[in-house]
Chains A and B, each alone.
Chain A
Amino acid sequence: MNVITDSHVEGTDEHEDHGLSDVGYIKIALLLAVLTAIEVLTYFVDFGVLEVPSLLILMVVKFQIVISYFMHLKFDNKIFSYLFITGLVLAVVVFAAMATSLVFWTDPAGCDAGRFC
């Protein structure tokens, strides 16, 4: 696989080629603050059945924003994304499987010699 790099000149030009200006980053930070405020709102206001999904969605959105913009992954070479996302996806999938196995699929009636479990 021939890696075609969209490499850029490091150093002073970096943030003019891609990435945001300082004002842009401040806007991102404000967005993150707003999202955090909504998250905290769930503590004070009853979201009902939407509470857990909204918290999870907000968490994922904030995560994604920090990674893509503050950590620059959106503008950087794909290799960095592959390195990190592989770890992230593996972490989520493997531990989701572990949690599922430990929590959801145990036999509530318990194991005894008569049943294969």
Chain B
Amino acid sequence: MAITEEPPLILEIESGETKPSTGAFARPTNAKGWRAWVFTVDHKKIGIMYGAVAMFWFLWGGIEALLIRSQLLTPNGTVLTADQYNQIFTMHGTTMVFLVVMPLAAAFANYIVPLQIGARDVAFPRMNALGLWIFVFGGIFLNLSWFLGGGPDGGWFAYAPNTSVTFSPGAGMDFYALGLQIAGIASLVGSINLIVTIINMRAPGMTLLRMPVFTWMILVVQFLLLFALPVITVALVLLSMDRTFDANFFNVGMGADPLLWQHLFWIFGHPEVYILILPSFGIVSETLPVFSRKPLFGYSVIVISGAAIGFMGWGVWAHHMFVSGLGPVSVAAFSATTMFIAVPTGVKILNWIATMWGGKITFTVPMMFSISLVSMFTIGGLSGVMHSVAPADTQQTDTYFIVAHFHYVLFGGALMGLFAGMYYWWPKAFGYKLNDTLGKWHFWIVLVGFNLTFGPMHILGLQGMARRHSRYGPEDGFDFWNLMVSIGAFVILIGMIIFAINIVKTWLGYKAGTIEQSPADPWDGRTLEWAIPSPTPEHNFDYVPVVTDVDDFWHKKYQKDENGKLRKVADGNAIAQLGDQHPHLPSPSYWPIVLASGLPLIALGLIYTLWLTGIGLLVLVAAIYGWSLEPHTDPDAGHAHGHDHADDDKPDGDDSENLIDLPKDESTEEAPVG
């Protein structure tokens, strides 16, 4: 699409005054090398970086898990002291939730959503980069604690007053509180960006109910982030105020109620778990239809149930607090709402099964991971429904039964879905598929190891093994199953090593030319991202795609003939765009990473010396001004949100949608195509 230059910071000639740009530095122009990545504002590079950094943290969180399982391999284990154990299990949870699953979802959201809606980039490319770098620095900051006195030790849920200075005197919990506040800013900034992008930058003809389900789920997730993050921000601020400035929020001697922390945390925490799972639900809603060669069963139902889950997720948080002394009325109310929320999820499971039913299934690696999500998440969901029955939960809570539940939904659900996404979209991002054989070994070994690890935890939990304990005694009778669990954890490790080998091997093979380049549409896909070359050209689409249907690209390839049978009319690779146009793209920028670097300085200053905070604030303010005033070398250059942005804003309102004369939707009853 043709884009004309818009003058930066210059008034229209009519009003009689013009002033040149006030940018202090020219924007970087590197197309190659590390600078092309560090200063990029391209959503694809940003998505890849989110993914790469998340996989690094996955390695670290996995090591933390293996340390836990080594300690619990035998009764009265001696691998970790109790204090070390507290730190390790706290950071295992914190790392996996905030530094692995959320950023992996962000990686896919950033890379794929603009492609699926036919856009060139997100609404605010520089803000996108900002989110990435804040996440990177936040994760590093959080883990600096290991070197500076010990990790946080209060559990990922950080119940106060246990996490106050009295009971947790080291700096670990300060790193936790401040680190998560930093990471929270990253997610908030990203959520606003994606919401505006999805609402406002869809291809012509793509109404909301023609968007791919993955994009829909990401939209719901961004709303959950938008509204849940402020609540944990307040909780963490209150904790920080107590720890750093001697406030009294959780000082029981002053009349504090420990339940306040729990409410605030879980009001965030419950939407958070839907934030963790919905992206994977979106991913499998993409892969299952493609590899069953059938449209998604009940598109609108799946979309609405996703939105319903997001909405109802706000009404169940106190099911994490059933034994905290809430009182019978609250417990009963939250027990009921928790049972209700199983309904929309169950609907999705049924729809996915119905999608596969009667389909022509190919068991590619992404398909296998997707099917495993459906089954493993169902298991996790069933134990979840068991927890919703409050009297039963009184026995289950704080035992390994809960640990089993959330690992089935988080590992068996979210992570399996994310692996499905990796294998599925790898050719689009990198231009070649991951090795199929290694992928299958990865899948099966991980599936077996995962079930061996977390299956027995159901038994251990019901036998009474408490969670968050650094050891169990020989008299407890937990030995056998703990041994199995720990073996399972190492089996998972083997599976992940195979995955790493797959990545390295295929990358080297691609560079050497021994692995074939993927075409635009290697899987015979249904959505717009398969209509452009692999790897994705920097500008995404040569021409704006105009859309008339759900799964519009599929309809370009398969149409009904006069007998109502579906016929292939075109090969995806033949009708995909060629990537040969060269429109202007947003310029890279220094300021996102500079701004992001101010935040850990501010945080370190709050722990050690306020001089650092002052320096951090100066960096922050300088970066904000630099950002707002930097020259546009391209009219698509992104805008900082809120502040005194002297950037051009979008011009006159566009009632483009009113002008489209859209034909009615075709019927989507499709038999599998031969």
Of A3-11, A21-29, A52-60, A63-71, the stretch lying at the interface with chain B is A3-11
Q: Which of A101, A111, A117 has the most CB of B within 10 A?
A: A101
Chain A residues near B39 (CB, 8 Å)?
Answer: none
Residue contact A10 to B651, C-beta cutoff 8 Å: yes
Answer yes or no: A107 CB below 8 A from chain B CBs: yes
Closest to A1 in B: B208
Q: Mark B188-221, 1 if CB is under 8 A from A, else 0.
A: 0000000100010000000111000000000000
Residue contact A2 to B207, C-beta cutoff 8 Å: yes
Q: Mark B216-231, 1 if CB is under 8 A from A, else 0.
A: 0000000100110000
Residue contact B655 to A7, C-beta cutoff 8 Å: yes
Closest to A93 in B: B314
Consensus secondary structure, chain A interface = loop
Answer yes or no: A79 CB below 8 A from chain B CBs: yes
Residue contact B657 to A3, C-beta cutoff 8 Å: yes
A102-B257, A105-B330 in contact; A1/B263 too (CB < 8 A)?
Answer: no
Q: How far is the CB of B315 from chain A (nearest CB, A)?
A: 7
Closest to A2 in B: B207
Q: Tell me which residues from 60 to 117 in chain A have a Cβ below 8 Å from any Cβ of chain B.
A: 79, 83, 86-87, 90-91, 93-94, 97-98, 100-102, 105-107, 111, 116-117
**Of the residues B223, B394, B654, B658, contact of A116 by C-beta under 8 Å:** B394
Residue contact A107 to B207, C-beta cutoff 8 Å: no
Answer yes or no: B260 CB below 8 A from chain A CBs: yes
Residue contact A9 to B328, C-beta cutoff 8 Å: no
Residue contact B657 to A2, C-beta cutoff 8 Å: yes
Chain A residues near B653 (CB, 8 Å)?
Answer: 5, 7-10
Q: Mark B304-341, 1 if CB is under 8 A from A, else 0.
A: 00000000001100100000011111110000000000
Distance of A2 Cα from B632 Cα, bound (Å): 33
Q: How far is the CB of A64 from chain B (nearest CB, A)?
A: 21
Closest to B318 in A: A101
Residue contact B208 to A116, C-beta cutoff 8 Å: no
Chain A residues near B331 (CB, 8 Å)?
Answer: 116-117
Chain A residues near B318 (CB, 8 Å)?
Answer: 101
Answer yes or no: B477 CB below 8 A from chain A CBs: no
Q: Mark A1-44, 1 if CB is under 8 A from B, else 0.
A: 11111011111000000000000000000000000000000000
**Of the residues B257, B314, B328, B657, contact of A5 by C-beta under 8 Å:** B657
Chain A residues near B672 (CB, 8 Å)?
Answer: none
Give the size category of B's interface with A.
Answer: 20 to 34
Residue contact A101 to B208, C-beta cutoff 8 Å: no
Answer yes or no: B267 CB below 8 A from chain A CBs: yes
Residue contact B226 to A87, C-beta cutoff 8 Å: yes
Q: How far is the CB of A101 from chain B (nearest CB, A)?
A: 4
Chain B residues near A11 (CB, 8 Å)?
Answer: 652
Residue contact A94 to B326, C-beta cutoff 8 Å: no
Chain A residues near B325 (CB, 8 Å)?
Answer: 106, 111, 117
Query: What's the tally of chain A residues with a CB closer than 8 Å to chain B?
Result: 29
Distance of A111 Cα from B322 Cα, bound (Å): 13
Residue contact A90 to B227, C-beta cutoff 8 Å: yes
Chain A residues near B346 (CB, 8 Å)?
Answer: none
Q: How far is the CB of B313 from chain A (nearest CB, A)?
A: 11
Closest to A111 in B: B325
Closest to B650 in A: A10
Distance of A105 Cα from B330 Cα, bound (Å): 7
Chain A residues near B652 (CB, 8 Å)?
Answer: 9-11
**Of the residues B209, B227, B315, contact of A97 by C-beta under 8 Å:** B315
Residue contact B267 to A116, C-beta cutoff 8 Å: no
Q: Tell me which residues from 643 to 674 in chain B have a Cβ below 8 Å from any Cβ of chain A.
A: 651-655, 657-658
Chain A residues near B509 (CB, 8 Å)?
Answer: none
Q: How far is the CB of A19 from chain B (nearest CB, A)?
A: 15
**Of the residues A1, A93, A105, contact of B209 by C-beta under 8 Å:** A1
Distance of A102 Cα from B330 Cα, bound (Å): 9
Chain A residues near B227 (CB, 8 Å)?
Answer: 86-87, 90-91
Q: How far is the CB of B148 from chain A (nearest CB, A)?
A: 35
Answer yes or no: B259 CB below 8 A from chain A CBs: yes
Closest to A97 in B: B315
Residue contact A105 to B329, C-beta cutoff 8 Å: yes
Chain B residues near A98 (CB, 8 Å)?
Answer: 263, 267
Answer yes or no: B391 CB below 8 A from chain A CBs: yes
Q: How far is the CB of A104 from chain B (nearest CB, A)?
A: 8
**Of the residues B209, B314, B327, B655, contact of A106 by C-beta under 8 Å:** B327
Q: How far is the CB of B261 from chain A (nearest CB, A)?
A: 12
Q: How far is the CB of B199 from chain A (nearest CB, A)?
A: 7
Residue contact A4 to B657, C-beta cutoff 8 Å: yes
Residue contact B263 to A116, C-beta cutoff 8 Å: no
Closest to B231 in A: A94
Distance of A79 Cα from B657 Cα, bound (Å): 15
Distance of A32 Cα from B329 Cα, bound (Å): 41
Distance of A43 Cα from B468 Cα, bound (Å): 52
Residue contact B263 to A5, C-beta cutoff 8 Å: no
Chain A residues near B327 (CB, 8 Å)?
Answer: 101, 105-107, 117
Residue contact A102 to B657, C-beta cutoff 8 Å: no
Chain B residues near A107 (CB, 8 Å)?
Answer: 327-328
Chain A residues near B657 (CB, 8 Å)?
Answer: 2-5
A5-B655, A7-B653 in contact; A106/B326 too (CB < 8 A)?
Answer: yes
Residue contact B654 to A102, C-beta cutoff 8 Å: no
Closest to A82 in B: B199
Closest to B192 in A: A83
Q: How far is the CB of B632 from chain A (nearest CB, A)?
A: 19
Q: How far is the CB of A84 from chain B (nearest CB, A)?
A: 11
Closest to B330 in A: A101
Distance of A86 Cα from B318 Cα, bound (Å): 21
Distance of A65 Cα from B78 Cα, bound (Å): 65
Chain B residues near A86 (CB, 8 Å)?
Answer: 223, 227
Chain B residues near A10 (CB, 8 Å)?
Answer: 651-653
Distance of A87 Cα from B227 Cα, bound (Å): 6
Q: Which of B263, B315, B327, B658 has the most CB of A within 10 A?
A: B327
Q: What are 18 A-to-B residue pairs whose CB atoms are below 8 Å?
A: A2-B657, A5-B657, A8-B653, A9-B653, A10-B652, A86-B223, A87-B226, A98-B263, A101-B263, A102-B257, A105-B327, A106-B326, A106-B327, A107-B327, A111-B325, A116-B391, A117-B326, A117-B331
B: residues with CB less than 8 A from A are 195, 199, 207-209, 223, 226-227, 257, 259-260, 263, 267, 314-315, 318, 325-331, 391, 394, 651-655, 657-658
Contacts A93-B314, A107-B328 given; 19 further ones with Cβ under 8 A?
Answer: A1-B207, A2-B657, A3-B207, A4-B657, A5-B658, A10-B651, A10-B652, A11-B652, A79-B199, A86-B227, A87-B226, A87-B227, A90-B227, A90-B314, A94-B314, A101-B327, A102-B257, A105-B326, A105-B329
